[in-house]
């Protein structure tokens, strides 16, 4: 991989972008649209504020820490010095939504120390980009601060008003909640506790998970998250609904410990993405830019891929993961059937779940330690034979490791499990962490698990294995540093439509996800269900979109592994399947053509290496007409367009599978008028002629 194409670095005082007086310092983004002001309060506590296009966007907000083994840190500080620099580089993604990423910011580093004993010192580093800001704490090695037990990181975000918010409850274990759309003052996360379909959930107070996205009454879009979480706990944001204020509430454990570490250490970046167009949040690469460059070097052994799976049939109840059920899905013969189907249809991956012993003790068991075995197939599944059969046909296996949230059992077997994969030439594993974490008292999003997930990534990399984690810790841009972190779940995925007792994901779900969860990173959503009513397996459940929207999701939702999730028999002889055959999975460029959070979004992506473009548009429960200009196409070139559209009478509930296919010749002057049905969508392929 060509790592750095162009790089410019200047250290020193940048007069145009940083100014100071007494204890006040500021830094401007490269274009000057965003300004961060730093100050010490009257109590000599560090505080920052942010303005956007000359208007205050984050009001003065204080910073500080509380510890188990030390006095709090935050007041009575002095500024020892400041350092500023400009940084500008372009880096290349080994796979991704686009090939090149610009990373351009101005940085202000404020060195602080306590005026009195114990005279601890640290710095706060602010980076101002044109699409938002990031800041973090850096603690050097020092005499009076060695081992550190953080009980609270008190980073505030004071908002300027009662913004409209798209939020999910601040759960320490799982992100699989529906998003709520409310004014800030109406956030009530604790009401979302104990959803009947969730195996675990812990929400100690009124807090939201990140990314959380907002819109001000002036039409400014904001999204709060974090970047580069390493040996630290994840955040939730505690909300003070009366004062429009938020503060970090780190995910802890039952011993009240949030982070246990040692100097020197740095916190993750606290991030605020800022935009005047909702779609710019999706195009922003701020979170990736705040992560370190690729540490793995060449990862061309991972190839972005579409895949099918012995998977949906389990969620439908047609077959089962465990052998004892008498309807075991992962048999050699069934795997070969899927391979034959994939090979015929330009799909090069196959996930097989339920292949290994242990599933008889999966859900609802407390003694999950030592249950799953990641090298021993059930007797009716010949792993080697399946791998060889697939290889002959150009279909590679995606390995499956469900840990049932017993990470220690998994860690013990990591090397043997990955050595087996390596000996078979398998380069992708889907992991899973269903259930409450063992040991009890640890949570999926706490430091202990953050370290586990990282350990898995690093070990996998040694074996040239890429990881698609389900029940993960939220992505924080680590795929830049570890490009084997290819995808993850971390939301209410398609599976909820098969079995959720609340009717599944409502039609608006996928118009919120691109502006919230997707800002964190790639999503293994598993689109492409054609049998919307799930007949005959699930008479009381259904997918709450049209078939055309299922196609659009291959473009709207980004992942370098995209599943064709439905049963092969539901695709056979359906002309709409041509779109899934054709659609790309690795992109040269991405353009968000339009969108409003919770209403609709249209995204265009250009495939790497082919100059083909694909467009996806989705709407919520409302029918919509969207005018889409194809001005992103190469000027002067003609393209063969195939449009997969909702039929005029389509409707996510009453008539979800009614679609039309239209073909036409288009160019960069063409403007399309797309009519989307309630819960509908449109998918377009554009091949250069």
Shortest distance in whole angstroms from residue 194 CB to Ca ion: 26
Is 495 near ligand NOJ (CB under 6 A)? yes
* Among the listed residues 23, 280, 599, 667, the single contact to Ca ion using CB under 5 A: 599
Can you give 636-658 as a three-state secondary structure string?
Answer: CCCEEEEEEEECCCCECCCECCC
* Among the listed residues 168, 598, 616, 679, the single contact to Ca ion using CB under 5 A: 598
| Look-up of token digits 């990399």 | 461
Q: Which long-range contacts (CB under 8 A, 24 or more apart) does 413-416 make?
A: 413/373, 413/374, 413/375, 414/455, 414/456, 414/459, 415/459, 416/374, 416/375
Count CB-CB contacts under 10 A for residue 146. 10
Shortest distance in whole angstroms from residue 202 CB to ligand NOJ: 18
**List of residues 6+ apart from 333 with CB closer than 8 A:** none
Query: What is the spatial distance between Cα 77 and Cα 110, in angstroms, rounded to a whole number?
Result: 11
- Per-residue mark of binding to ligand NOJ, 282-321 (x: CB under 6 A): -----------------------------x----------
Q: H or E segment at 222?
A: strand 221-227
Site for Ca ion in 459-518 (CB under 5 A): 508
**122 binds, options Ca ion, ligand NOJ, none, Cβ within 5 to 8 A by partner type:** none
Catalytic residue among 402, 495, 588, 607: 495
Closer residue to Ca ion in complex, CB, 129/600: 600
**353 binds, options Ca ion, ligand NOJ, none, Cβ within 5 to 8 A by partner type:** ligand NOJ
Number of residues that bind ligand NOJ (CB under 6 A): 8
**531 binds, options Ca ion, ligand NOJ, none, Cβ within 5 to 8 A by partner type:** none
Shortest distance in whole angstroms from residue 356 CB to ligand NOJ: 11
Shortest distance in whole angstroms from residue 576 CB to ligand NOJ: 24
**495 binds, options Ca ion, ligand NOJ, none, Cβ within 5 to 8 A by partner type:** ligand NOJ
Tokens of 463: 């074996």
Site for ligand NOJ in 463-492 (CB under 6 A): 470, 489
Closer residue to ligand NOJ in complex, CB, 315/612: 315
Shortest distance in whole angstroms from residue 489 CB to ligand NOJ: 5
Shortest distance in whole angstroms from residue 231 CB to ligand NOJ: 26
Shortest distance in whole angstroms from residue 470 CB to ligand NOJ: 4
**List of residues 6+ apart from 110 with CB closer than 8 A:** 25, 38, 46, 79, 82, 123, 124, 125, 126
Is 432 near ligand NOJ (CB under 6 A)? yes
Query: What is the spatial distance between Cα 385 and Cα 318, in angstroms, rounded to a whole number?
Result: 24
Q: Which stretch binds Ca ion (CB under 5 A): 183-191, 567-575, 593-601, 663-671?
A: 593-601
Tokens of 128: 């101002």
Q: Which stretch binds Ca ion (CB under 5 A): 91-99, 161-169, 298-306, 594-602?
A: 594-602
| Look-up of token digits 């659609």 | 583
Shortest distance in whole angstroms from residue 353 CB to ligand NOJ: 5
**582 binds, options Ca ion, ligand NOJ, none, Cβ within 5 to 8 A by partner type:** none
Shortest distance in whole angstroms from residue 78 CB to ligand NOJ: 50
Site for Ca ion in 617-636 (CB under 5 A): 620
Per DSSP, the residues of 367-414 read --TT---SS-B-TT--HHHHHHHHHHHT-EEEEEEE-TT-HHHHHHHH
Q: Beta partners for 226?
A: 270
Q: H or E segment at 11?
A: strand 4-11
Is 198 near ligand NOJ (CB under 6 A)? no
**517 binds, options ligand NOJ, Ca ion, none, Cβ within 5 to 8 A by partner type:** none
**500 binds, options ligand NOJ, Ca ion, none, Cβ within 5 to 8 A by partner type:** none
Contact predicate 421/431, CB 8 Å: no
Query: What is the spatial distance between Cα 686 and Cα 689, in angstroms, rounded to a whole number?
Result: 9
- For helices 383-393 and 407-424, the axis angle rounded to 10 degrees is 50
Closer residue to ligand NOJ in complex, CB, 224/381: 381
Site for ligand NOJ in 401-420 (CB under 6 A): 402
Closer residue to ligand NOJ in complex, CB, 46/522: 522
Closer residue to Ca ion in complex, CB, 511/562: 511
Closer residue to Ca ion in complex, CB, 340/599: 599
In a 10 Å sphere around its CB, with 0-12 CB exposed, 13-18 middle and 19+ buried, how is residue 486 labelled? buried
- Per-residue mark of binding to ligand NOJ, 578-597 (x: CB under 6 A): --------------------
Query: What is the spatial distance between Cα 358 and Cα 380, in angstroms, rounded to a whole number?
Result: 14
In a 10 Å sphere around its CB, with 0-12 CB exposed, 13-18 middle and 19+ buried, how is residue 467 labelled? buried
Contact predicate 484/453, CB 8 Å: no
Query: What is the spatial distance between Cα 365 and Cα 362, in angstroms, rounded to a whole number?
Result: 6
Percentages of the chain per state (helix, strand, coil), in multiples of 5: 15, 35, 45
**599 binds, options Ca ion, ligand NOJ, none, Cβ within 5 to 8 A by partner type:** Ca ion
Site for ligand NOJ in 367-406 (CB under 6 A): 402
Shortest distance in whole angstroms from residue 545 CB to ligand NOJ: 19
Q: In what order do the strands lie in the sheet with 55-62?
A: 18-21, 24-28, 34-40, 46-52, 55-62, 156-159, 245-250, 235-240, 207-208
* Among the listed residues 353, 396, 620, 651, the single contact to ligand NOJ using CB under 6 A: 353
Query: What is the spatial distance between Cα 353 and Cα 470, in angstroms, rounded to a whole number?
Result: 13
Number of residues that bind Ca ion (CB under 5 A): 4
**620 binds, options ligand NOJ, Ca ion, none, Cβ within 5 to 8 A by partner type:** Ca ion
Q: Where are the alpha helices (DSSP H) in 41-179?
A: none
Closer residue to ligand NOJ in complex, CB, 273/319: 319
Task: Please indicate whether residue 572 is annotated as part of the active site.
Answer: no
Closer residue to ligand NOJ in complex, CB, 353/646: 353
Shortest distance in whole angstroms from residue 510 CB to ligand NOJ: 17
Contact predicate 527/557, CB 8 Å: yes
Is 322 near ligand NOJ (CB under 6 A)? no
**470 binds, options ligand NOJ, Ca ion, none, Cβ within 5 to 8 A by partner type:** ligand NOJ
Could you tell me which of 414, 430, 470, 453 has the C-alpha nearest to residue 199?
Answer: 470
Count CB-CB contacts under 10 A for residue 611. 15
Task: Considering only CA atoms, give the Rg of the chain.
Answer: 25
| Look-up of token digits 């939201």 | 208
Closer residue to Ca ion in complex, CB, 435/678: 678
**402 binds, options Ca ion, ligand NOJ, none, Cβ within 5 to 8 A by partner type:** ligand NOJ
Q: Which stretch binds Ca ion (CB under 5 A): 223-231, 344-352, 376-384, 592-600?
A: 592-600
- Catalytic residue annotation: 495
List residues near Ca ion by CB under 5 A.
508, 598-599, 620
Query: Which spans of this chain sit near ligand NOJ (rule: CB under 6 A)?
Result: 311, 353, 402, 432, 434, 470, 489, 495
């Amino acid at each position: 991989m060509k790592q750095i194409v162009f790089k410019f670095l200047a250290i020193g005082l940048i007069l145009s972008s940083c100014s100071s007086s007494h204890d006040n310092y500021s830094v401007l983004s490269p274009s000057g649209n965003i300004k961060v002001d730093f100050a010490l309060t009257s109590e000599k506590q560090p505080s920052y504020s942010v303005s956007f296009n000359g208007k205050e966007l984050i009001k003065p907000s204080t910073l500080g820490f509380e510890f188990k083994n030390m006095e709090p840190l935050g007041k009575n500080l002095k500024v020892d010095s400041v350092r500023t620099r400009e940084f500008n580089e372009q880096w290349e993604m080994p796979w991704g939504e686009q090939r090149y990423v610009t990373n351009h910011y101005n940085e202000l580093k404020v060195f602080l120390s306590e005026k009195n004993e114990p005279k601890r010192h640290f710095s706060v580093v602010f980076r101002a980009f044109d699409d938002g800001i990031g800041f973090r704490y850096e603690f050097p090695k020092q005499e009076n601060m060695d081992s550190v037990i953080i009980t609270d990181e008190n980073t505030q975000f004071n908002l300027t008003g009662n913004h409209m918010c798209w939020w999910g409850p601040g759960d320490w274990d799982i992100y699989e909640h529906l998003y709520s759309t409310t004014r800030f003052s109406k956030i009530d996360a604790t009401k979302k506790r104990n959803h009947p379909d969730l195996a675990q959930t812990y929400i100690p107070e009124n807090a939201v998970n990140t990314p959380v996205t907002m819109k001000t009454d002036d039409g400014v879009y904001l999204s709060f998250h974090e970047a580069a979480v390493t040996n630290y706990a994840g955040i939730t944001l505690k909300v003070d609904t009366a004062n429009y204020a938020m503060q970090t509430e780190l995910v802890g454990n039952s011993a009240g410990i949030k982070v246990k570490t040692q100097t020197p250490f740095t916190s993750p970046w606290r991030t605020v993405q800022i935009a005047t167009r909702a779609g710019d949040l999706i195009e922003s690469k701020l979170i990736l830019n705040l992560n370190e460059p690729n540490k793995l070097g060449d990862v061309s052994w991972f190839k972005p891929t579409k895949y099918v799976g012995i998977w949906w049939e389990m969620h439908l109840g047609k077959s089962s993961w465990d052998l004892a059920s008498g309807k075991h899905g992962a048999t050699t013969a069934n795997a070969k059937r899927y391979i034959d189907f994939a090979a015929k249809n330009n799909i090069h991956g196959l996930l097989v779940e339920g292949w290994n012993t242990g599933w008889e003790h999966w859900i609802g068991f407390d003694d999950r330690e030592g249950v799953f075995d990641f090298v021993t197939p059930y007797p009716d599944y010949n792993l080697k034979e399946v791998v060889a059969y697939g290889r002959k046909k150009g279909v590679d296996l995606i390995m499956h490791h469900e840990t049932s949230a017993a990470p220690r059992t998994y860690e013990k077997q990591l090397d043997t499990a990955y050595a087996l994969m390596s000996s078979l030439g398998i380069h992708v594993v889907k992991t899973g962490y269903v259930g409450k974490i063992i040991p009890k008292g640890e949570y999926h999003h706490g430091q202990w698990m953050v370290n586990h997930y990282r350990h898995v990534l690093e070990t996998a990399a040694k074996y040239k294995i890429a990881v698609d984690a389900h029940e993960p810790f939220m992505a924080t841009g680590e795929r830049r540093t570890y490009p084997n972190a290819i995808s993850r779940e971390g939301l209410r995925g398609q599976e909820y439509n098969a079995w959720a007792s609340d009717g599944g994901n409502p039609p608006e779900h996928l118009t919120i996800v691109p502006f919230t969860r997707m800002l964190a990173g790639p999503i293994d959503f598993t689109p492409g269900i054609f049998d919307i009513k799930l007949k005959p397996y699930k008479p009381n459940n259904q997918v709450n979109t049209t078939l055309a929207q299922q196609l659009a999701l291959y473009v709207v939702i980004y992942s370098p592994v995209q599943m064709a999730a439905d049963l092969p028999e539901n695709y056979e002889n359906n002309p709409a399947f041509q779109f899934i055959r054709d659609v790309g999975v690795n992109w040269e460029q991405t353009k968000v053509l339009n969108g409003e959070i919770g209403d609709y979004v249209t995204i265009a992506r250009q495939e790497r290496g082919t100059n083909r473009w694909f467009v996806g548009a989705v709407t919520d429960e409302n029918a919509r007409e969207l005018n889409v200009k194809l001005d992103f196409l190469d000027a002067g070139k003609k393209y063969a367009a195939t449009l997969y559209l909702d039929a005029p009478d389509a409707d996510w509930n009453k008539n979800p599978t009614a679609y039309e296919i239209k073909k036409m010749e288009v160019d960069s002057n063409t403007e399309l008028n797309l009519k989307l049905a309630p819960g509908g969508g449109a998918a377009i392929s554009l091949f250069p002629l």
